[in-house]
Chains A and B, each alone.
Chain A
Amino acid sequence: MDGTRGTLKSLPITAVLSITALLAAACGSTNTSSNGGMAPNAQQILRTNSATEPNSFDPGQMTYDYENLIGRNVFETLLKPKPDLTDVEGAAASSYDVSSDGLTYTFHLRPNARWSDGQPLRAQDFLYGYQRLLDPSLAAGYVDPFFDTTIAGGANYGNIDPKNTAAVQSFIQGLGLSAPDDHTFVIKLAQPAGYFKWVAALSAGAPIRKDLVGSRYTSWASNPAGIVSNGMFKISEEVPKDHVTLVPNPYYWGPKPHIQKWNDYFIADANQAFSKYQTGELDALQVPLGTQDAVNADPKLKSQQHRYLSLGIFYLTPNLQVSPFNNVHVREAIAHAIDRDTLVNSVAKGQYVARQTYIPQGMIGYTPSLGSAQNYDPAKGKAALQASGLPTSAYDKIKLLTRATSTNQLINQYLLNQINLNLGVHWTLDVVDSKTVTDRIRKGNFQIYGPDGWGADYPDEQDFFDVYTTGACHGLNWGCPNNKTYDDIVGKGDAALKQSDRQRYYDQAAKMMEDQYWVAFLYNRYDVTLVKPYVQGITSTAIDESNYLPGDFNTNSIYIATH
């Protein structure tokens, strides 16, 4: 689809529901069995578990998925992804225009949009939200998609001294952001970026009311129950370490949610949460790996279990800057050494799906045929080691750096065993606590690391391919291929405005990754979630936080059926 012009209307709810039916065929994941119609309002209570309490309810400071779950329902950004993820549609902005050179985005805000305190939503609120997000003294975690080769003037973000108020102010004023009138918000980019529409949909780009922030620049949201927001829900209470409650925003412009009360709990212990699902205290719950067998053994639970696609990919990352992984044959050997099918079926008990390509299923650019190069073939693996021309001592005793999390334990041990068994080498596991691992991979202090991966910020290939550019070495990627040809290709793909052009470039980039075995692709994870049969109307997209609540990008369609 072209991205030059996006005239978007708000979709009536019937359209949303028919998309649900379409998706039922595509993704195979909707609840169709239940007793009856919609329960009365008093029973429209939804209870989910996101396991971790958000560190902040300030959308500018939210970065984790469990924070975005709340953030995107409480605040509404300019745009939002369409359920089939082929394009974006209007959210707070009813439409947007892009100039022919691709540098100026003009957003037309809805005149009837209002905050939860009744005040009209104005372009100045978006201006303030963006300016604050890009303020170096805020140190917002999710700011980089906004300044890195996107918004004009933003490239200097890393060089501003946050304590130098004058420098900060001049940086902010120099950004390509403006609000010419109450309902028009204009963003100027530094260079053309076909993917920018997705960036504008990130929950970090939420509008913020300057008058309500006042002097509490970083702490205005520290009392979440009081904050004024513009999304379809607002926060009615937050009990620390326990839960947060969302209720519908009476002033929301769009289709009102059926759910009248949404309690999101922070139960960190998976076993405890599982107990609560069984006793009916939770309506949706992720199935942790350890509990999968118990769920499969119980016919009732098994029928309530759903697998949702998620946009991510997991792989082993060799450090291409050190020996022996600067040798492509050694890298190839690893890709051939791992039996992915046993991994996903027996070890991961069906919660994973084997993958050998970068772009995940569920978004544009998914090309499984590219992955034939990384098939399971121990003979080929051994042959590749021979072909490398290196002495055995160069690759015999490698340490595989892994994180000491419980989810990983079994997978790590399996992977190590596979490599040792199938390649005849003697690698060991270097199991280190997560913080230290991050520290080491940033500094390039490892030989091979994994399994780790990338989860989509938004369903555009730019988000994936930019990770392996030279500029992102030691930042977003750890293997550091630092390949100029690749950088050029990806740069062209990012800047092109026609989707077909972009696809051409990205296909070249994908092929390069596969041929050079920069990483050994392993699997992707499903979100395996138990959902009570009376939770209906789920509009599931692959970019949802389906492990917490399937369909959380379109929560207004969810309802509780009588039961």
Chain B
Amino acid sequence: MAATAKGAPARGARLSLRPRKTRAANLAFYIVRRILWMIPVVLFVISITFVLMHLAPGSPWDRTGGRPLSKAVIDDLNVKYGLDKPLWNQFLLYVWNVAHFDFGLSYQYQNQTAAHVLLESWPATLTIGALAFVLIVPLGVALGVIAALRQNSVIDYIAVGFSTFGASVPNFVIGILLIIVFSVEAYHLTGGSLFLPTGGFAVDEHLILPVITLSVLPVAYIARMARSSTLDVLRQDYVRTAWAKGLRERLVVLRHIVKNSLIPVVSTLGSIFALMVTGSVIVETVFAIPGIGRSFVVAVSSRDYPMILATTILFSVVIAVANLIIDLLYTVIDPRVRLG
């Protein structure tokens, strides 16, 4: 009974009796396999993106406004950037370069490499993403667990209400409404604005609105998940018994509850992460933040192929790495899970 109260069932005990060398070797093998697996994924992503982009009519030199370029200049530009070569040639060349971490020159920002542009945009996206991520896990889990512990009370309804709302309302709607309230209306009332969206990047109170907007959806998802998994845990007999026994027992079992509710939450962190990556595209557009998401939207409309490809690859790799880390984390948290 005591062993199960600690949450480690028999099977877990058996795993820990395995010789450590084999376990470490397993782990290493697993990591290597996963990393190797990223290569075909990246290749697939590149191929699809490459094909799609070149299917799109309009070359990078077609001006969207302002003075059109003369044909002579366009021909020369195509030569300069290697666009006069046949497509398959360009594709192979591109893959070869990527293998050497060369993502080519951006077409929009002449003479800057795509990698360089990404590096410049990276801090903004990373800061907001990291802030949001650090916020959402404790907030979401706390919200879900508390709601489950106080099921059917006012707190539960509020929490469920908030998380349903957050999961349903589009993030750009939230962003726009926040802007209206804190900038537009505040301007009418006071002549100034509160929490202006940031222009030019700095870590200051201007980040509050974008971080909130980015966090709402993931917090909602996590809260819902934490709540239902906590409810499941609470249903178990030993937990009910311990809970009934009184405050001291409750504290002991609370740790167990939280830990067990975390497990399914961690398993979805991968898709939460992917959600935030795409969410950043919208948040950056609404709040005009010079990050990677926004530069991607601009790159697509400008047919800046190197930027588009580089950003897509970056996103895919980041998501794949995040998934790997989360899977590893998952095995640490839940010893019942086997790698593979």
Contact = CB atoms under 8 A, between A and B. Distances in A.
Interface of A: 53, 55-56, 61, 63-65, 136-144, 148, 157-158, 161-163, 218-219, 222, 239-243, 265, 267-269, 271-273, 275-276, 278-279, 403, 405, 433-440, 442, 455, 457, 474-476
A435 B199 contact: no
Nearest to B285: A269
Nearest to B196: A275
5 contacts: A141-B67, A157-B72, A265-B199, A435-B58, A435-B301
B66 A269 contact: no
A266 to B, nearest CB: 8
Contacts of B77: 139
A83 to B, nearest CB: 23
A139 B120 contact: no
Interface residues of B, number: 46
Most-contacted residue by chain B among A138, A265, A267, A275 (CB, 10 A): A275
B177 to A, nearest CB: 14
A275 B193 contact: yes
Interface in B154-213: 179, 183, 187, 191-193, 196-197, 199-201
A281 B232 CA distance: 54
B201 A435 contact: no
A239 B140 CA distance: 37
B22 interface: no
B199 A433 contact: no
B121 A476 contact: no
A418 to B, nearest CB: 23
Given A61-B110, A139-B80, A267-B288, A439 B58 contact: yes
B79 interface: yes
B302 A435 contact: yes
B80 A162 contact: yes
Given A139-B76, A141-B73, A434-B301, A476 B110 contact: no
A525 to B, nearest CB: 12
Contact of B76 (A137, A272, A433, A474): A137
B59 interface: yes
B122 to A, nearest CB: 12
A142 B67 contact: yes
**CB-based closest 9 A-B pairs:** A435-B58, A158-B72, A438-B62, A269-B288, A434-B64, A139-B76, A242-B200, A241-B290, A439-B58
Interface of B: 56-60, 62-73, 75-77, 79-80, 108-112, 120-121, 179, 183, 187, 191-193, 196-197, 199-201, 287-288, 290, 301-303
Most-contacted residue by chain B among A218, A241, A243, A278 (CB, 10 A): A241
Nearest to A440: B57
Contact of A438 (B63, B121, B191): B63
A139 B76 CA distance: 5
A218 B80 CA distance: 11
A162 B76 contact: yes
Given A269-B197, A272-B288, A440-B57, A163 B72 contact: no
Contacts of A434: 58, 62, 64-65, 301
Contacts of A268: 288
A143 B73 CA distance: 8
Most-contacted residue by chain A among B80, B193, B197, B302 (CB, 10 A): B80
A163 B76 CA distance: 9
A301 to B, nearest CB: 11
B63 A241 contact: no
Contacts of B65: 403, 405, 434
A243 to B, nearest CB: 7
B187 A275 contact: yes
Contacts of A222: 111-112
Most-contacted residue by chain A among B108, B110, B201 (CB, 10 A): B110
A439 B59 contact: yes
A294 to B, nearest CB: 9
A442 to B, nearest CB: 7
Contact of B62 (A143, A242, A278, A435): A435
